Amino acid sequence: MNVLDAAGPQAGKLVVLWWVMFWVSVAVLALVLIALAFAVVRGRRHDGDRRPAPEPPPARRAGVVIGAATVVTTLILIALLVTSVVTGRAVSAFSGPDPLTITVTGHQWWWSARYDDGEPSERFEIANELHVPVGRPVRLKLQTVDVIHSLWVPNLHGKRDLIPARTNELWLQADREGVFNGQCAEYCGLQHAHMALRIVAESPQAFDTWRRQQMQPAPEPTDALVQRGRDAFLAGPCVLCHTVRGTTAGGRVGPDLTHVASRATLAAGTIPNTPGHLSGWIADAQGVKPGTRMPTLGLPPDELLAILAWLETLR
C-alpha cells in the first residue's frame, strides 16, 4: 500500500501538500549544495597556486547577499506555512449531504464501530473492519474507552486523535473501491503496533448487501457440532466479554462476534482470519498478542473445536 496513492478528496489534497513540500525542500537543498560546492572549489583553486587568498568581498556586498538569502528563506517558509494552513482548512472543512454516520471507538488494542444510521433496529456494531460505500461522505465520531489513540487511514485522510471523555469528528470519502488500511498512530501501550483498522470501500449495492447481512442476528446452528459449540460458548467465560446478537452473550469488553467469520483479520489485523489462526488465537491469545485482554482459557480440545465450528458459521 502506497500512502501517497490517494483514494479520497482529502487525501488528494494532503498528497499535493506533501509533493509541494518535497520539491521545495529538494530545490533548497540543491541550491545550498551548489553554493557550498562553489565556495569549496573557489577556495581550493587559490590554495593550489599558493597565491594569497582573495580579498574577502566588501562588507556591503556580503551584506546584500546575506540579506537576500534571509528574505528568500523567509518567503519560502511563509509560502509553505500558508499552503499547509490552506490545505488543513480544506481537509477539515470537507463534509457532504446524506453522510453515513459511524461511531468508532478505540480500545487497547482494537477498534469497535457502530453504524448509527436508520431505525434503532438497523444499528449494529462490528470490530476492526469498516465497510463504506464509494462516493458517499462518511462521518466518523471518534471516541475512546481508555487511553488516547489516533486513527490514520493514509489513503483517505490525515490523522485524528481519539481523546478520553470527548468525541472528535472525522469526515472522509472513498472515491474508488479498494481495501484501505488504517493504523493507530498514537502510542497507546504494548500492542500499539497491532491496532489496525481495515476500511473496505465498495459499490453502494455491495455495501447495502453487507449492511443487511451485518444487521442480522447470528444464524441458528444447523448441525450437532455447531450446536455444541454455541452451548459451550454461552456456558463459558466468553460471554463476559463478547456480544453475539441473537444469543445471550452480551459482553462489552471485547469485539462483537455476531459476524466474526465475515472479517478478514483477527485481533485488529494481527493475524488472518482462518480456522487455524482462530483456534490458535482462542487457545493462546497471550502468545499471539501479549498483553491483550483476551485471556488464555485452557479449553478442552473437543470444546475448542466445537466453538471453532460455531464461530466459523457466523458469517
**Residues in contact with ligand CUA by the rule CB under 6 A:** 106, 109, 149, 184, 186-188, 192, 195
Task: Rank residues 6 and 288 by Cβ distance to ligand CUA and give the closer one.
Answer: 288
Task: Rank residues 106 and 158 by Cβ distance to ligand CUA and give the closer one.
Answer: 106
Task: Report residue 17 as a C-alpha cell.
Answer: 501538500
d(CA 3, CA 248): 42
Least distance from ligand CUA to the Cβ atom of residue 167, Å: 17
Instruction: Give the DSSP letter string of 79-122.
Output: HHHHHHHHHHHHHHH---SS-EEEEEEEETTEEEEEE--SSGGG
Task: Rank residues 188 and 249 by Cβ distance to ligand CUA and give the closer one.
Answer: 188
Q: Is beta strand 196-202 parallel, antiparallel or unpaired with respect to 129-133?
A: parallel
3-state secondary structure of 127: strand
Least distance from ligand CUA to the Cβ atom of residue 188, Å: 3
Least distance from ligand CUA to the Cβ atom of residue 196, Å: 10
Least distance from ligand CUA to the Cβ atom of residue 160, Å: 13
Least distance from ligand CUA to the Cβ atom of residue 135, Å: 29
H helix or E strand, kind and range, residue 126: strand 124-127
Least distance from ligand CUA to the Cβ atom of residue 266, Å: 17
d(CA 11, CA 64): 42
| Nearest alpha-carbon partner for 267 in 257, 297, 258 | 257
* Sequence-separated (6 or more) residues with CB below 8 Å from residue 290: 190, 191
| Nearest alpha-carbon partner for 157 in 101, 91, 105 | 91
Task: Rank residues 188 and 278 by Cβ distance to ligand CUA and give the closer one.
Answer: 188
Task: Rank residues 133 and 269 by Cβ distance to ligand CUA and give the closer one.
Answer: 269
Task: Rank residues 129 and 186 by Cβ distance to ligand CUA and give the closer one.
Answer: 186
